Chains A and B, each alone.
Chain A
């Protein structure tokens, strides 16, 4: 089994207040910690579990700048065999179809049986790259996978559908699966583990190496652009309780009583 897993480095904003930066086109990054996109972490674990069961090789791929190498090191520390860093100044400002185009060029030149991606990323959350990549490669795909196993030349995938239901489909390999969070328990990565892979060579490929027309990717090739970020408009919203903790809690208890909750 040749398994390719696409990963992305994102800022962790889940528990933080996000501010818009001065350009208006991004978020204030100063105090943010970066790491692997949560969905992609489940994808890496799924890739490794399949390799452990069926044998083969796992290759982690990312496209991005120099700092993004850290998510490849992390995937190697988890047990990926190889990593590939697609990096070129011409890639900057790529939209989802640009990213899919870059990945397509890199992946179609290699052998593969299964490609795994996260279903969405926690930063821009457009949820497009996996499905686009599969269509460009002309292989079957399924999004929002919550369970995945390989049997012979097929992948058996459970995925989320409407109404809180799940559905099982069978894909002929080679295929692409975009995974939902929660489909496994990603293994822990120790600092020692990362140190052990620190000297592993990670090839860097640019547009020339991939035979990519630089005008088809990056800002030049983007058909969808982000014009401006802004904070959600203030709506009426909640009555915010004030005072010290004790006072706030007492007010809340009074409200719950009014609503018949006690």
Chain B
């Protein structure tokens, strides 16, 4: 059985949950030894923590790695992967992972499987499952057998971490060469505007998505939210069209919210959107597509035309309130 390497991502200076998920996924895929690559600056304490789940933690500690950059990471990891030759390299399918994995695959000449949600077999190539068409279809994909090994990006939250990992691993410090990716330089991290609302504190959210079709139709959503004493939130397409501000966007590229009630209207329910809905709220979904992924995560669903349902819902809520 072969060895694996997991790329650990630090988010806000902390070890991202994906590290523990990928460690266990690597073991379940039949890896004998699972190593971590930890990139950052002053990360000795994190290395110690990671020895719980990894057999060896390779530490790359350098000022160049203070802000994790995809190009710098790919340039650093490619020769390391070639030298240590792990059969599988696991990368979190995050913005960072998406930025670095294709380049790493080309540099190491390995097949790349992205956004994997399940690994079915790692014998004779890799067979895995991913989603397509905005999560409406699942696909069995296969990386053909390759002596050099494979690179997989795994979707965060799709693989369970081990309950009480006790790998008792060792720590190995690696050299970091200078000027890894001179063509791309960090300028600044932008802190988000506080915005005019704080949807992260709202107890009831009325969230609207692509199904609203036109900006002027948002009126019925505002009106429903007002009847419920709720805030209006939205999915990405509504922000892309500049109909609502980024401070109302829920999802992995927006804000995380933890309401008690989440009413999703015209939202298909992609994992990028649902990734921002935390704390297990009661979810009600209204969508015209009976197969929309939102119905598999919602508590209660209505298949129908939101332009009929939403005004009716507002009316009935006002009646119920007396």
Residues of A in contact with B (beta carbons under 8 Å apart) = 13-18, 20, 27, 96-97, 100, 119, 122-132, 134-136, 139-144, 156, 158-172, 175, 180-182, 185, 222-235, 237-241, 245-246, 248-253, 255-257, 259-262
Contact B102 A166 (CB under 8 A): no
Contact A167 B186 (CB under 8 A): yes
Q: How far is the CB of A41 from the nearest CB of chain B, in Å?
A: 11
Contact A240 B303 (CB under 8 A): yes
Contact A238 B295 (CB under 8 A): yes
Contact A237 B295 (CB under 8 A): yes
Name the residue on B nearest A232 (C-beta).
B138
Chain B residues, Cβ within 8 Å of A162: 9, 11-12, 16, 94-96
Can you name 11 extra interface pairs (CB under 8 A) apart from A140-B71, A162-B96?
A13-B133, A130-B102, A172-B182, A182-B242, A223-B146, A224-B142, A227-B141, A232-B137, A255-B284, A262-B317, A262-B320
Chain A residues, Cβ within 8 Å of B168: none
Tell me which of A97, A119, A231, A252 contacts B291 (CB under 8 A): A231
Also in contact, A163 and B106, with CB within 8 A (given A185-B242, A238-B296): no
Contact B320 A225 (CB under 8 A): no
Contact B308 A241 (CB under 8 A): no
- Complex Cα spacing A225 to B142, Å: 5
- Complex Cα spacing A182 to B211, Å: 17
- Complex Cα spacing A250 to B300, Å: 13
Tell me which of B136, B137, B187 contacts A168 (CB under 8 A): B187
User: Is B189 interfacial (CB 8 A cutoff)?
Assistant: yes
Chain A residues, Cβ within 8 Å of B112: 96-97, 128, 132, 224
Chain A residues, Cβ within 8 Å of B71: 140-142
- Complex Cα spacing A15 to B292, Å: 9
Contact A238 B113 (CB under 8 A): no
Most buried by A among B74, B139, B313: B139
Tell me which of A135, A140, A237, A256 contacts B298 (CB under 8 A): A237
- Complex Cα spacing A123 to B204, Å: 33
Contact A224 B102 (CB under 8 A): no
Q: Mark B178-207, 1 if CB is under 8 A from A, else 0.
A: 000111111111111000000000001000
Residues of B in contact with A (beta carbons under 8 Å apart) = 9, 11-12, 16, 67, 69-71, 74, 94-96, 98-103, 105-107, 111-115, 127, 130-144, 146, 181-192, 204, 210-211, 228, 236-237, 239-242, 253-256, 260-261, 263, 268, 282-285, 288-291, 293-304, 308-309, 312-313, 316-317, 320-321
- Complex Cα spacing A227 to B127, Å: 9
- Complex Cα spacing A155 to B20, Å: 36
Chain B residues, Cβ within 8 Å of A161: 95-96, 189
Also in contact, A228 and B139, with CB within 8 A (given A140-B184, A167-B190, A182-B239): yes
Contact A131 B103 (CB under 8 A): yes
Chain A residues, Cβ within 8 Å of B94: 162
Chain B residues, Cβ within 8 Å of A143: 70, 95, 98-99
Q: How far is the CB of A160 from the nearest CB of chain B, in Å?
A: 5
Most buried by B among A163, A185, A231: A163
- Complex Cα spacing A129 to B103, Å: 10
- Complex Cα spacing A70 to B8, Å: 43
Q: Is the interface of A mostly helix, strand, loop or mixed?
A: mixed
- Complex Cα spacing A175 to B136, Å: 34
- Complex Cα spacing A260 to B94, Å: 35
Chain A residues, Cβ within 8 Å of B135: 232
Chain B residues, Cβ within 8 Å of A223: 111, 143-144, 146
Chain B residues, Cβ within 8 Å of A238: 283, 285, 294-301
Chain A residues, Cβ within 8 Å of B301: 237-241
Chain A residues, Cβ within 8 Å of B254: 164
- Complex Cα spacing A260 to B228, Å: 11
Also in contact, A132 and B103, with CB within 8 A (given A142-B71, A224-B143, A245-B304): yes
Contact B293 A232 (CB under 8 A): yes
Instruction: Write 24 A-B pairs (CB below 8 A) sorted by A numbering.
Output: A18-B136, A125-B132, A131-B99, A132-B103, A136-B106, A140-B181, A144-B95, A164-B192, A164-B255, A165-B189, A165-B192, A167-B186, A168-B188, A171-B185, A172-B184, A234-B296, A237-B296, A239-B300, A240-B302, A248-B304, A249-B302, A256-B263, A257-B320, A259-B282
Chain A residues, Cβ within 8 Å of B283: 238
Q: How far is the CB of B278 from the nearest CB of chain A, in Å?
A: 13
Also in contact, A226 and B139, with CB within 8 A (given A128-B114, A182-B236, A239-B300): yes
Contact B190 A165 (CB under 8 A): yes
Most buried by A among B71, B107, B182, B283: B71
Chain A residues, Cβ within 8 Å of B140: 226-230
